[in-house]
Amino acid sequence: MKKKNHYQKSLVILLLASGLFAYTVFYALTYHQSYTAGYNNSMQQDEPQTIRLNTRTQQKRPRFILHPGPHKTGTTTIQCDLEDLMEDLVRYDSLVYSGKYQCQRRKAQLQYAKNKFQFPYYMPGNMVCLRDTFVKECDNARPWNEFTTALGAIHDKGNLNVLHSDEGLSRIDAKGLRQLNRALNNHDSWDVSVVIAYRWYFEWIASFYNEIYEAAGHWPELKKWPGRHGGVAIPAFGDFLDIVLRGDVSSLDSSREQFINTVHIVQGDNAFYHPSFVLREKFRRHFADVLIFDIHDFEGDLTANFLCRVLNVKHTCAAQITKSEMEQVKSRNLSVDLHYDILVVAAYEAGYLLNQNLKRMDVVAKAKDRQENLGFSAKDFPMKCLFPSQEEKLLKLSIKYERDIFPERFQNDHDAKKREDALKNGFAKSIAKNKFCSIDATKVLNDEGWKLFFKAL
């Protein structure tokens, strides 16, 4: 009798557990169906901005989707997530991700790609030609032949589309675009779409300023002292903004001048355009289907919006939603703190660094340590922010750029006011967070403690 009761209790527990598991699965599936349905339904009004992939069919050409950035529009975040989701993209949505690999799984993903498709996804020999066709090696046909051969291997499988994401594509020149167009249109083989991201200009220019003056990046001149050592001093953001908006980038060092001109300023008519506008016009000369992905249009995870609303890949869209909910996702591309470098260079130029053997980056690290040991951060320094006239000019320019890129949004007063209010609200938040401010090094160096600190190094 005891054995029978024990058996009955065990059976009840098993049934309850099975029921709970079934409910959990049902809830999860229902939730994702409703969530992704919400994504799809909310996109109906923007249907032209959605890419319908030609999957598992021999009757339609496969899609080749180019995502050329531009820089500072969330590309790093999207690319890192695409690395993580690469297997799901292929297995369930027939989409091969190629392009820029730069996150924690790079080696593993490259090996997976080679084993699965025999396709060397990030091929230095030819991918560099997609970025900068003025590179000497790109003058011959070999890299482009390799690229065409690699694409052919995927095309021959008959049921795969390709997504190539690399903000370096924003620097490709007209010659490179012609070669790329020929490679993709070889035997009318690919149906090409170009997806260009858009970010409010005031956000973009502040982020861009941080990137091009990041000493830890690819700028050796930012690791040297200014003057006879060949280094470059970082200007305050307000000074940098004035230089850019005046079109006087030739007054900057050659590295900054060249980089800015490739992504932002169209010279010849001395006109300025938003980098997304420049990129759209550049690709429109060579490809028919070019669309803009506004990263401000939708709330929630950036990559989920890209997958769900633009690419319309349902399974991987749901997987990214789960991923973003299950983990507290940190920024893949942390903002750069330039305040300490500006302070250190000001101390150097004022003659407070008596030790001639000190390295710029080492002094920056020591200054940061001192401030933090005092219980403060860079945000606690006195700041130089934009003048009201500069704020007004930056805001007006940001609104103008949005009107240039999305004229259809401003066809009636109601929609125009809604768009401008959203942009103005974002602008006010940036001001409140001191996004347009730089350290006031002169005021900091008036403090005897900081003077003594630098002299004692």
CA–CA gap between residue 376 and residue 369 (Å, rounded): 10
Listing DSSP states for 181-224 in one string gives: HHHHTGGG--EEEEEEEE--HHHHHHHHHHHHT-TTSS-GGGSS
Q: Quick one: pLDDT at residue 115? A: 55
Whether 232 and 286 share a structural domain: no
- Alpha-carbon torsion, ordered 110, 113, 118, 120, to 10 deg: -40
Q: Are 355 and 455 in contact (CB under 8 A)?
A: no
Residue 86 in any domain: the answer is yes
Whether 279 and 409 share a structural domain: no
At 95, phi and psi to the nearest 5? -125, 115
Residue 332 in any domain: the answer is no
What the block records as the tokens of 184 is 């993709």
What's the structural domain count of the chain?
3
CA–CA gap between residue 276 and residue 70 (Å, rounded): 6
User: Which of 336, 331, 73 has its CA nearest to residue 215?
Assistant: 336
CA–CA gap between residue 260 and residue 60 (Å, rounded): 40
Whether 297 and 256 share a structural domain: no
Q: Quick one: pLDDT at residue 153? A: 78
* End-to-end alpha carbon distance in the chain: 85
Whether 128 and 210 share a structural domain: no
- Alpha-carbon torsion, ordered 432, 80, 280, 185, to 10 deg: 180
Whether 34 and 86 share a structural domain: no
Whether 164 and 312 share a structural domain: yes
Whether 90 and 185 share a structural domain: yes
Whether 195 and 210 share a structural domain: no
Residue 118 in any domain: the answer is yes
Q: Quick one: pLDDT at residue 358? A: 95
Sign of CA dihedral 384, 390, 396, 401: negative
Whether 160 and 186 share a structural domain: yes
Residue 268 in any domain: the answer is no
Q: Quick one: pLDDT at residue 24? A: 38
User: Which residues are within 8 A (CB) of 64 and not within 5 positions of it... i.e. 6 or more apart?
Assistant: 151, 161, 162, 164, 184, 190, 191, 192, 193
What's the domain range around 145?
Answer: 50-199+274-326
Whether 309 and 283 share a structural domain: yes
The conformation of residue 61, written as its DSSP 8-state character, comes to P
Whether 322 and 341 share a structural domain: no
Residues of the chain with pLDDT under 70: 1-59, 101-143, 186-188, 216-217, 263-272, 325-336
Domain containing residue 125: CATH number? 3.40.50
- Chain centre to alpha carbon of residue 388: 29
Residue 269 in any domain: the answer is no
**pTM > 0.85: yes or no:** no
What the block records as the tokens of 236 is 């305050």
CA–CA gap between residue 246 and residue 390 (Å, rounded): 12
Residue 331 in any domain: the answer is no
Whether 178 and 280 share a structural domain: yes
